[in-house]
């Protein structure tokens, strides 16, 4: 289910979660990225109730992650194909799989990323595409972008001071205006 308050926030993480933060939507995207395209495939793979699946598929189409494609006219039957935005979601799913395997699979990996040609297991790592360096917390950080609203600048400035050792400040962000919320 869409989370409208998140959907319209300026933060790209909040906006993304507003669209796919629901567990069922994430599982539908997992399955679409794996190659499932039909309603019954999604339903059987995830176990989601048909009414919930219908809503989530409709929302994922509205949000531009999937497109609905007719494959039979009598009766009308549809498949759901990934859009470019949907294909770009692969990195999120891979990162979640790696994180879940590392922290929540005491029995061992249920899934793993492999190189297709050799089936060699691959360890997922986010790197700087320009220099190949791992994106570690000590070397890389998120900062306000060119379109950042005042709240984003405030958060960043507050956290910079906190990291520098200023423990006297209180987090008191400016009130959100209509434009920011």
Given this model, what pLDDT does residue 181 score? Answer: 41
- Binned at pLDDT 50, 70 and 90, residue 4 comes out as confident
Model confidence at 180, in pLDDT bands (50, 70, 90)?
very low
Confidence of residue 175 (pLDDT cuts 50, 70, 90): confident
| Closest-CA residue to 111 (of 33, 173, 19, 9) | 33
Cα–Cα distance measured from residue 135 to residue 129, given in angstroms and rounded to the nearest whole number: 10
Can you state the angle between helices 12-20 and 23-34, rounded to 10 degrees?
Answer: 80
Question: What band does 177 get if pLDDT is binned at 50, 70 and 90?
Answer: very low
The whole-angstrom distance between residue 16's C-alpha and the CA centroid of its chain comes to 6
């Amino acid at each position: 289910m869409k989370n409208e308050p998140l959907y319209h926030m300026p933060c790209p993480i909040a906006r993304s979660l507003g669209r796919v933060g629901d567990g069922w939507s994430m599982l539908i995207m997992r399955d679409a990225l794996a190659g499932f395209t039909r309603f019954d495939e999604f339903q059987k793979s995830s176990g989601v109730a048909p009414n919930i699946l219908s809503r989530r598929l409709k929302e994922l189409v509205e949000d531009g992650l999937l497109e609905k494609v007719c494959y039979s006219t009598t009766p009308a039957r549809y498949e759901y194909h990934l859009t470019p935005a949907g294909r770009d979601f692969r990195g999120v799913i891979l990162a979640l799989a790696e994180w879940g395997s590392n922290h929540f699979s005491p029995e061992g990996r249920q899934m793993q990323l492999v190189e297709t040609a050799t089936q060699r297991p691959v360890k997922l790592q986010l790197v700087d595409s320009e220099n190949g360096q791992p994106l570690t917390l000590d070397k890389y950080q998120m900062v306000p972008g060119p379109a950042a609203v005042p709240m984003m600048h405030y958060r960043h400035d507050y956290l910079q001071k906190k990291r520098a050792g200023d423990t006297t400040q209180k987090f008191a962000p400016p009130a959100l205006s209509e434009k920011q919320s």
